[in-house]
Structure 1
C-alpha cells in the first residue's frame, strides 16, 4: 500500500512486551483457583482477548472464580507490569520514522485505559500517544469487533481505508479487517499461521515495519 494517513497500533505485544507477564500472572492465579493450564496453552487461550473473556472461559473450564475476580486479577497484573514491562524492541524507531514522515498514530486496545496507564507509563511511551489512546472498554464491543479502530479513525477524521493497523493477534487482526483497514501482523513465536489469513504482510522484527509502511 501507499503511505497510510494514520497508523493504529495494538498495545500489548506490539508497543509493550507485556503479554508474557500477564500470561504468567494468569497461569499462577488460575492454578490457585483450581485450573491448571500448561504454558503451551495459556497464550492460545487468552492473548488478544479481554479479562472478562478470560473469566468466562476459565469458569467454563472449572476455575472457581468469585464475582470480584476481575478487580483481584487486575491488581495482580498491574503490579507485575509496573515492575517488569519493557517496550517492544525497535518500536521507538518506528514512531520516530512516523514523526519524520508527519504521519499521526494512535492506540486501539482491548485492554482498559488503567492498564495502558501502567504499561505506557513505565516504558516511557505514554507521552508519544497522549490524547490518542483508545480502549475497547469504552466502545460497544471489543475486538474482533472493529469499534475501537473505527472510533480512532473517526476522531482523526481519516477514512478507514487510509489507516494501517499493527496487530500481533488474530483477534485484533480480524478487528482491523472488519474496520476495512489493511493489517500488518507482528508475528513472533507461533502467531504467524494465525495472523496470515488476516494480514497484507507479516514481519517479525520492528525494524522491518517502517519499510512495509512505505516510510
Structure 2
C-alpha cells in the first residue's frame, strides 16, 4: 500500500518554477549574458547548470566553466533578469486552484526562495500574489542570510508559523531545494512538469507533474 501522511499544518512553496513559470525567462537572460561574457549557453543549458543556486554560486560556477565575468556581474545579471521578467511571467498552471483549496482547508501557506524580495515583487506582483505573501509569509535567502541547500530558510518559516518541521510540506523544483527540505526534516514534493525527476526522487522527494495532483498527495 502507498504510504499515507497526515495533512500538513504548513505548506511552503518555492517561488521560481513552482508558483510562477519564471525559469524560462530568467534562464534566457542568463544564457544571453554568459554568452556575451564568453560562455556560450542555451537557456536549457543554463537551467541544467544553475537552477536552484544562489547568484554568488552561479557566478563562481560560470567562471569555472570559462566565463569572463566582471566583479559587478551580480548587479548586471539582476538588472538584465528583472528587465526580462517585467515583460511578463505567468503563474504556474493550477497554482491558483491549489491555493484556493488550501485556503478552504485552513492550511497556511508561505513562500521560501533563494531569490531576492525584489525579484518576487516583480514575479508575484504581476499575478496578484505579492499582497498574499508579503511580508509575513515570505522568506528570502537574501533577507535571512541563509540559502538552500541549507535548511535554515525552511526552518525559519516553520518557526514563524509555530509549526514543527515534521508537520510541514515543501513544494520544490530543484535539487538544492529538495536537499534543504530533507535536511530540515520536512516532506517534499518535487514539481517536474516536463517529466523525469529521477534526480529529485533520488534526493528524497516525491515527484509530481501537475498541480492538480497535490490535493490528493496532501489528503485534502
Q: Could you list the runs of 5+ residues in structure 2 that have no partner in the other structure? A: none
Q: TM-score, normalised by structure 1?
A: 0.96
Moved over 3 A (4+): none
| Equivalent in the alignment of 1:9 | 13
| Alpha-carbon contact 1:169-1:191 (below 8 Å) kept | no
Moved more, 55-64 or 101-110: 55-64
How far 1:50 moved relative to its partner? 1.3
Moved more, 153-162 or 126-135: 126-135
Question: In the TM superposition, what are the counterparts of 1:12-161 in structure 2 within 5 Å?
Answer: 12-130=16-134, 131-161=136-166
What is the DSSP-based 3-state SS (H/G/I as helix, E as strand, rest coil) of the residue aligned with 2:110?
strand
Closer, same or farther: CA 102–112 of 1 in aligned 2, 3 Å: same
How far, CA to CA, are the matches of 2:152 and 2:95 in structure 1? Answer: 25
| Equivalent in the alignment of 1:170 | 175
| Alpha-carbon contact 2:27-2:44 (below 8 Å) kept | no
What is the DSSP-based 3-state SS (H/G/I as helix, E as strand, rest coil) of the residue aligned with 1:84?
coil
How far, CA to CA, are the matches of 1:126 and 1:38 in structure 2? Answer: 30
What is the DSSP-based 3-state SS (H/G/I as helix, E as strand, rest coil) of the residue aligned with 2:77?
helix
Moved more, 162-171 or 131-140: 131-140
Moved more, 204-213 or 191-200: 191-200
| Alpha-carbon contact 1:108-1:135 (below 8 Å) kept | yes
What is the DSSP-based 3-state SS (H/G/I as helix, E as strand, rest coil) of the residue aligned with 1:123?
coil
| Alpha-carbon contact 1:184-1:199 (below 8 Å) kept | no
| Alpha-carbon contact 1:168-1:191 (below 8 Å) kept | no
How far 1:117 moved relative to its partner? 0.7
| Alpha-carbon contact 2:24-2:43 (below 8 Å) kept | no
| Alpha-carbon contact 1:169-1:194 (below 8 Å) kept | no
Q: TM-score, normalised by structure 2?
A: 0.94
How far 1:128 moved relative to its partner? 2.1
How far 1:126 moved relative to its partner? 1.2
Q: Could you list the runs of 5+ residues in structure 1 that have no partner in the other structure? A: none
| Equivalent in the alignment of 2:206 | 201
- What's the Cα RMSD here? 1.3
How far 1:163 moved relative to its partner? 0.3
Moved more, 34-43 or 98-107: 34-43
How far, CA to CA, are the matches of 2:206 and 2:42 in structure 1? Answer: 31
